[in-house]
Amino acid sequence: MDKTEKLKLVKDTIKNYVNFPKPGVNFLDIFPVFQNTLALKALRDLLLEHVLFLEIDLIVGLDSRGFLIGPLISIEIDKPFIPIRKKGKLPGRVLSQEYSLEYGESTLELQQDSVKEGSRVLIVDDLLATGGSMGAAIHLLTSINVKIVECLVVIEVLKLKAREKFNVPVYSIVQF
């Protein structure tokens, strides 16, 4: 399967739920990709083809679907995976960042000793829509003098123009 076929398979496997979780919101669901091994292998290949030559020290995944994507990359390129979680889910001392979601407010946290100053980081998540969680992660990591090499997402909602809010590179596998 060539790259174009892999992209089509991944995009066609993602489901769109209109008016979920509330009216006016369209939810792009990546879980069907994980339920289809051919689509999952295609996604893994597309992710690896992109990140193979990035100069990074570690991968940071956003709660919660970034936890599915980050380790897929981490084990293949032999770089550590670090989670950024929702408030109250990480033990020990944490750094926190509040942000707005498409449908509410939330807080992200990072264990204080998990990322060293000066590290070159790839941030991964399933979706870039309004940019709230990605922006919070960028702010959290830059506050500890980390170099964000790139933000990598599987799905980007182009009409919301979230990437324009960031001063770091953003790469998306598929766009809606």
CA distances from 96 to 18, 36, 39, 75, 140 (A): 32, 35, 35, 27, 7
The CB density around residue 141, as the number of other CB atoms within 10 Å, is: 23
Cβ neighbours for 87, distance < 8 A, ≥ 6 positions apart? 96, 106, 107, 108, 109
Q: CA–CA separation, 79 vs 169, rounded Å? A: 20
**Token pair 């770091």 in the structure block, residue:** 168
The tokens describing 23, both together, are: 């009216």
Residues involved in catalysis: 65, 102
